Chain A
Amino acid sequence: MKIALFVPCYVDQFYPQVGIATLQLLEKLGCEVEFPLGQTCCGQPMANSGCEQDSVGTYHQFVRTFADYDHIVTPSGSCAYHVKKHFDIIEQTPAVRKVRENTFELIQFITDVLKVTHIGGTFAHQVGLHLSCHGQRGLHLANASEITPERGGQVSQILSTIGGLTLTNLTRNDECCGFGGSFCVTEEAVSARMGIDRLGDHLRNGTEILTGGDVSCLMHMEGIIRRQRWPIKVMHVAEILNQTLQSTTTIPKTLC
C-alpha cells in the first residue's frame, strides 16, 4: 500500500508542526508514507473565489503528483473535500478518477482504511472539538445537527478513546467558525463575528484546548484567540493523537 502525505499549502508554510504530527502519527500506525515533493495545493483558494478556471493547472499538478499512490492522506477535511467534489471540471481520466477516489482526510483514513478506532494513551485536558463544515457536511465525518439529534462522528469517537480527555459539550454543536476561505477577508466583519461567537461557546463551556481536523478553521480562530488573549490553546487533532500514541506496538503492522 503506497501512501502519500498531502500537506496543504498554508499548512506547509505556516503550520509545519501539523504536517510533522500527521507524518509521525501515520508512521506510528505502521504506515510507510511518502511526501511527494511536487505537491502545492488543492486549488481551493482560486475556485472558492469563483476563479475555478485558474485552478485547473493546480488540479493537474495535484493529479500528476499523486496519481501513483494508493492513498493520499491530508490533515485537512476541506482540501480532501475539494479534491473529491470539485475536480470534476477537468477531464476525468483514469488518473483523475483514481486520485479523487483515494484522497482521504486523516481521521477518515485512520478509521475507514486502517480500521483503527482506538488510540489510547492519556491527555488530561478538556478538549473542544471544532467540526469543520467541509469535513462534517461535505465528507460526512460527523452527524449534522440539522439531520439528527444524535451527536457523534469519527474525530470525537477517536478522541474519546484517550484517557483523561474530556470533550466539551458545546451549546451549538456544529456552527460554522466563519473562516470560509476568501470569505474571511471579503466578509471580514461577519467572519470575525462568527469566530468570536464560536469561541465564546468554547469559553463558556470550559474548553482548554481547541482542536479540529481543519487547519484553516483553527488558524482563523487562533488569530482571534491571540488577539483577544483568551486562555485557549489550539492544536490540530493530529498533534493530540501523535502526542498520546507513544509507540507502534499496539497497532498491527499488517494493516499498512
Chain B
Amino acid sequence: MSHSDLAEKFNTDFDKTTWHDESLWFVRQKRDRAVFQVEEFQELRELGSQIKDHTLSKLDYYLEQFEANAQANGVVVHWAADAHEHNQIVLDIIKKSGESCLVKSKSMLTEECHLNPFLEKNGVEVVDTDLGERIIQFLDQPPSHIVMPAIHLKKEEIGEVFHKHLGTAKGMSDPQQLTEAARQHLRQKFMAAKVALSGVNFAVAETGGIVVCTNEGNADLGIDLANVHIASMGIEKVIPTLEHLAVFTRLLARSAIGQPITSYTSHFTKPRQGTQMHVVIVDNGRTAQLGRPDFRASLKCIRCGACMNTCPVYRRSGGHSYDATVPGPIGAILSPNIDLKKHSSLPFASTLCGSCSDVCPVKIDIHVQLYKWRQIVSKSGDYSASKRLAMNVLGRVLERPQIYGRIGKVARRMLQITPHALSHAAALNPWAKARELPQPPAESFKEWYGKNRK
C-alpha cells in the first residue's frame, strides 16, 4: 500500500492522530530547548556535516584503518555485502559459541537486514532488550520510529501486552510500573545470555573501537555479561578520530531527545579478557547510494530521528505508514535506493516544507533529495500513467500563454456553472473531501489588467 493509503487509514482516528502529533511535537520542543542552550550549535552542525563529507570521500581508507586497528585490539572483523551475508555471519558466530539465545540492543541495521526472523527460523531465541524494542517484539511489529520504537502505542496498549507476556496485573498502565516489570523480566535474560549483539553509533578509525549510545544501559549490561559481543555496523558509521567523535556526541542526543548526551556513551575497543568481540561491516546498498551524487549525503545520517519529530507529515501519519525500516523524511530518501518500486510513494509523502533539513544535525538536504527522488520516480514504471500524461499536457499548456488564457477562462466558467454537489464530489475531487474550492471570479487578473491598465 502507498504511504497515502496507510496515512489515510491512520487519520481515521482523529484523536489518536492528535495524540501522536503532540507526543512527537513534545520531543521536538525538548530538542529546541537543548539545542538553543548551546551557543555554537549551528557551528557544530556544520562541523558534523563536513566531517561526514570528508569521511565519505575517503571511506575505503577509514574502513581499512578501522579494520587494522580493531584487529590489533583482538577484534574479529567481518564484511557483509548484503543483508543475507550479514545474517549468516551472525548465525555462524552464535552457532560456534554453542549458545542459542541472543540479547540484542537497538540496531536499525539488523531491522534492515530482518535479522530476528532469520535467527528465529534457525533456532535462536532473540531478545530485544531496549524497552521500546521489546514491546514491539512482543507485538511482532516493526519499530515506528528509529529512536522511540513504540511511540505509536498508548500506555494502555502496552499494559495489555505486558499482561499477556509478562503476567503483570490486568489494566496496569503506569509507565513506572510497566518499566519496572520489564526491568525484572530482562534482568533474567541478561543474566542468562552468553551472546550479545549491539548496533554501532560510531566506529572510530584511529582507535579501532566502536561507540554505542543508550539511555537505558541495556547494550552494556548485555555485552558486559556475555562471552561473545557482535556489533553490526553499516559502512557509513566510521569516523576518523576521537576529536570528531566529540562533535557527534554533542549533536546526537540533543537532536534526538533533547538530552545533553545519552546516559551511556560506551566505547568498546578491546574484548573483555577471555571473551570475543566481532564487528560485522555491512554494505547492503550503501555503496550504490555513495555512487549517486544527488543522494550520497543521505549516508551522513547519524540516526537521531529529529527529522521524524519535526515532520508534520510523519507526526500525522505514524511511522508504519512509511512501510520501511527507517520511516519519516530520512527514510523516504534512503528507502527508494533499496527498493524504488516498493517505496515509490515515499518521496511524495512530504510538503517539502524543509523543516527536516533545518533540524538535521549533519545538515542533510533531505527535502531537496525528496524533490530529486520525485524526478526519478516519475521516470520509472511506478508512477501513475494518467498523472504522467496530465503533467505533460499541463506543461504544454503553460508554455503557451494564449492557450493557457483560453483554457483558464473555460475552466472558471465550467466551475461557475457546475453544481456544487458535482464539483465537490469527493470521489472525483479529493480536494473537496475536506475543503471548498476557491470561488471562481468573473475575470482573471490578466483580463482585469487588459481593461484597467493598458
Contact = CB atoms under 8 A, between A and B. Distances in A.
B323 to A, nearest CB: 15
A23 B11 CA distance: 41
Contacts of B274: none
Contacts of A51: 375, 378, 388, 391-392, 395
Contact of A187 (B348, B374, B387): B348
Interface stretch (B155-163, B237-245, B264-272, B439-447): B439-447
Interface of B: 3-4, 7-8, 10-11, 17, 21, 25, 32, 36, 42, 310, 312-313, 316-317, 347-355, 357-359, 371, 374-378, 383, 387-388, 391-392, 394-401, 404, 408, 411-412, 430-431, 433-441, 443-449, 453
Contact of A14 (B387, B404, B438): B438
A14 B440 contact: yes
A219 B438 CA distance: 7
B348 A183 contact: yes
* Most chain A beta carbons < 10 A, residue from B358, B383, B395, B404: B395
B183 to A, nearest CB: 35
Contacts of B383: 50
Given A14-B440, A35-B453, A50-B374, A9 B404 contact: yes
Contact of A227 (B17, B347, B396, B436): B436
A26 B434 CA distance: 36
B146 to A, nearest CB: 19
A37 B348 contact: no
B419 to A, nearest CB: 17
A40 interface: yes
B354 A189 contact: no
A58 B398 contact: yes
Which 8 residue pairs of A and B lie closest in terms of their CB atoms, listed nearest first? A180-B351, A223-B435, A57-B399, A54-B395, A50-B374, A50-B378, A192-B434, A19-B445
A35 B454 CA distance: 9
Given A50-B374, A51-B388, A222-B438, A20 B445 contact: yes
B399 A58 contact: yes
Nearest to A174: B355
Contacts of A224: 434-435
Given A41-B404, A61-B400, A194-B313, 18 more contacts: A12-B444, A43-B395, A49-B374, A50-B348, A54-B394, A55-B395, A57-B395, A133-B355, A137-B358, A178-B312, A178-B351, A188-B431, A188-B434, A190-B4, A194-B316, A195-B434, A195-B435, A227-B436
9 contacts: A51-B388, A134-B354, A183-B352, A188-B431, A190-B7, A197-B21, A220-B435, A223-B434, A223-B436
Nearest to B407: A13
Interface residues of A, number: 76
Listed residue (B17, B351, B388, B396) with the most chain A CB atoms within 10 angstroms of its CB: B351
Contact of A190 (B313, B371, B437): B313
Interface of A: 7, 9, 11-17, 19-20, 23, 35, 37-41, 43, 45-58, 60-61, 86, 133-134, 137-138, 144-149, 172, 175-176, 178-197, 219-220, 222-224, 226-227
Nearest to A35: B449
Contacts of A43: 395, 398
Contacts of A23: 449, 453
A35 to B, nearest CB: 5
A16 B448 contact: yes
A38 B395 CA distance: 15
Given A48-B371, A51-B395, A147-B358, A187 B401 contact: no
